[in-house]
Structure 1
């Protein structure tokens, strides 16, 4: 009888251990799977950035937290992009390598600068001019003539997105020909070229200084603002 009891206990103990190991394996597997999925999303679909300046006010206030997507989506007039004039991530191979580096470093490193913080080199800017457009500025408002059209329209008439610009602090006797220019003569964009500009027209660097940017310079498109919560929205 004692031997039978011993065998039963051994069998029960073995079954319990097997069940325990199965549960541990399942828990670890689920954790790793969730980790991989989250990192794949952050690497290939969307990642967060923080706007640290007033350059996109009033629509995107300083310290706002925004999700941007590196997916190669069609660029539409009026959309806001994370722009990097000197981005090393400019080919398909480099994009894959960059995503792999970000994946294995928990989104802390990549070929580009750390995207958790926006620098003066990497910043949010609004796309106003598309390839083939002719654009000029008067009193800080952009006027656009699309390719094949005869007349110029304001940026607000043509944009698919509604937004506001900040020129309310314009000082008396401001010379729009110096500093951050409030006016410039027509510029025609070539294939693959875009004109980007800040919503705060008085104190931000953009295509007025850089010149036009290329598609590769548009690193990621803004898709949602999630903080402050009261201003949360989908772009």
Structure 2
């Protein structure tokens, strides 16, 4: 029995339509899974400054775990911009996916060239309710409910290094202040510092940060390979 040309054309169109539907479902599923993964499991970030040297290399790549958002003293976190633009869900999702492949170097929506409009990596040195002061670029912290000040290094969960070098006297107070008066953090504030205390912009400039600005904790520097390190 001969097959009618019209029947063949109809069957071909049906099969083609079904393939396209399956492809669309696959793309949407992969997109949703990737978005969930980037929101709750792991994503990579690129370090484009020397503000966290020596622990985090300039031009290095590190992994951030976004569900670790309650850091201890001394841990390194990924922080959202101070003036971050609130975006619709679909734009945020597209940013997440593109950021994943671009190692957080590019996002199509809500990007900014201002220093305060960029994500940053900083070390948490004081927790909500702590009191602190700074002397010679070292932070002294009195944990909430305690009576004595200790250095940031004595309270840190893991040892770390900071970078300090001589600068002209007139530089002090211009984003690299080496001294701060005694202050107490609010119930939802964290004090963060750059390890490079001369070049980094941090809580010495913009004060304590709210917990919702902490987008995850750095857990592993994966590049350069000769400086791979767990945090």
1:200 aligns with 2:187: no
1:59 aligns with 2:65: no
**In structure 1, what is the equivalent of residue 93 of structure 2?**
103
Q: Is the 8 A contact 2:69 2:216 kept in 1?
A: no
**In structure 2, what is the equivalent of residue 149 of structure 1?**
146
**In structure 2, what is the equivalent of residue 82 of structure 1?**
78
**In structure 2, what is the equivalent of residue 13 of structure 1?**
none
Which of residues 118, 121, 124 is equivalent to 1:124?
A: 121
C-alpha distance in 2 between matches for 1:130 and 1:34: 38
**In structure 2, what is the equivalent of residue 223 of structure 1?**
219
Q: 1:33 to 1:85 in 2, by over 3 A?
A: closer
Which of residues 41, 44, 47 is equivalent to 1:45?
A: 41
Mark the structure with the bigger radius of gyration: 1
TM-score (norm 2): 0.74
Aligned positions, number: 219
Which of residues 69, 72, 81 is equivalent to 2:65?
A: 69
**What do you get for the CA RMSD once the two structures are aligned?**
3.7
C-alpha distance in 2 between matches for 1:119 and 1:65: 22
Deviation at 1:152, TM superposition (A): 0.6
C-alpha distance in 2 between matches for 1:98 and 1:82: 21
Gaps spanning 5+ residues in structure 1: where? 7-21
Secondary structure of 1:77 counterpart = coil
